[in-house]
Amino acid sequence: MKPLLAFLALLAAHPALAQGDYPAKPVRMIVGFAAGGISDVLGRAVAITLSKQLGQQVVVENKPGAGTTIAGDYIARSAPDGYTIWLQDITTHAINAALYAKLPYDSIRDFTYVAMIASTPLMLVVHPTTNAQSVRELIALLKANPGKLSYGSSGNGTIVHLAGEMLRQAAGVEVLHVPYKGSNPATQAILGGEVTFVFSTMPPAVSNAKAGKLRALAVTTPKRVPAVPEVPTMVESGLRDFDVVLYSGVLGPKGMDAAVVKKLNAAFAATVRAPEMQKVYEQLGADAIVMTPQEFEAATQHEIAKLAPLVKASGAKVD
């Protein structure tokens, strides 16, 4: 018995020994959104290539609800052994830090930051019947109809909502916000002409614009997007400093072993550089990102500080 206790004590003192040859079994990757959204699509594509890199299957599991805080709480309470990780919309994670009066976790201290993997713009779209061929014409239309027109979003406090708030502030216009319960209902709303404009995620915006069902006015990144090079940026359209990006990254519970984090970070870096993933990124209008865990954590802290004032100005609150 004493030798066994001594061995267990040795494992506790040296977590790397306890990890063994990680990964020794399948890894679960939690996605905090329902199936079919951009995070889910990206996660499932990443899981296929990441499985090859790790030599173990990576299984995607959806835990949607409460603006991804259900998934966040689940991860924060999970064992920090590297077998349960979280592919999160880091922009939503940063917004939640200011949006919720009380979270069941600390957005920085209760997680291990593993790898940033992608950035994706939003696209400003209008219904084809809207009398606006550009951002400048849309602003003129809003100014001519103060308080009478509206924009849709995927919910209060989402980045889609905050992008609309940024336009309202930058252009000095009065426009109504109509929150929907998710991206799909917001997309259906703009397709049906229920709202004047939406800052949409790229996949539905690009496909519907190419089909002539929506008109693309601008993307929200400082540079044009290769998937739609003909669409100007918000900055080109006259709104200086308009920069809204969806960042995707992988977190784990607090206290993960440094060797496991290093191995996962390298595996994600190789995954996003893989030729098959580059095709996925191109289809999503996304850019691959490679960062160290330390850079990733610092970038998240920057996003929290950047987005908190917008959350406050929007008036969005979730108790």
Structure tokens at 123: 């696209």
Residue 41 in this model has a pLDDT that exceeds 70: yes
Of 11-25, 94-108, 201-215, 235-249, which gets the smallest average pLDDT?
Answer: 11-25
Q: What's the whole-number mean pLDDT along residues 143-160?
A: 92
Domain ranges of the chain: 2-120+246-314, 121-219
| Cα distances (angstroms) measured from residue 125 to each of 84, 197, 228, 285 | 37, 6, 13, 15
pLDDT of residue 227: 85
**pLDDT grade for 315, boundaries at 50, 70 and 90:** confident
Q: Strand 287-288 to strand 111-126: parallel, antiparallel, or no bridges (unpaired)?
A: antiparallel
Length of the chain, in residues: 319
Which fold does the domain 121-219 belong to in CATH?
D-Maltodextrin-Binding Protein; domain 2 (3.40.190)
Reported pTM: 0.83
Mean pLDDT over the full length of the chain = 90
pLDDT of residue 4: 34
**Cα angle, residue 273 at apex, residues 270 and 278 outer, rounded to 5°:** 140
**Could you give the percent of the chain with pLDDT greater than 90?**
71
Residue 18 in this model has a pLDDT that exceeds 60: no
Structure tokens at 98: 């200011």
Q: What's the whole-number mean pLDDT along residues 58-86?
A: 95
pLDDT of residue 303: 93
pLDDT of residue 7: 37
Q: Which CATH class is domain 2-120+246-314?
A: alpha beta
State how far the Cα of 123 lies from the Cα of 214, in Å rounded to an integer: 11
pLDDT in tens, 223-234: 899 889 999 999
Residue 20 in this model has a pLDDT that exceeds 80: no
State how far the Cα of 315 lies from the Cα of 156, in Å rounded to an integer: 9
Q: What's the whole-number mean pLDDT along residues 42-49?
A: 96
pLDDT of residue 203: 86
pLDDT of residue 182: 79
pLDDT of residue 8: 35
Residue 305 in this model has a pLDDT that exceeds 90: yes
Q: Which residues contact 107 (CB under 8 A, 6 or more apart)?
A: 72, 93, 94, 96, 97, 300, 304
Place of tokens 């190789």: 270
Q: What's the whole-number mean pLDDT along residues 99-111?
A: 94
Structure tokens at 38: 């951009």
Chain centroid offset of residue 248 CA: 5
Nearest to 27 by CA among 102, 97, 114, 109: 114
Nearest to 249 by CA among 119, 150, 151, 69: 119
Q: What's the whole-number mean pLDDT along residues 51-78?
A: 94
pLDDT of residue 154: 85
Q: Which residues face 178 on adjacent strands?
A: 152
**pLDDT grade for 271, boundaries at 50, 70 and 90:** very high
Residue 292 in this model has a pLDDT that exceeds 50: yes
State how far the Cα of 299 lies from the Cα of 296, in Å rounded to an integer: 5
pLDDT in tens, 236-256: 999 988 999 999 999 999 999
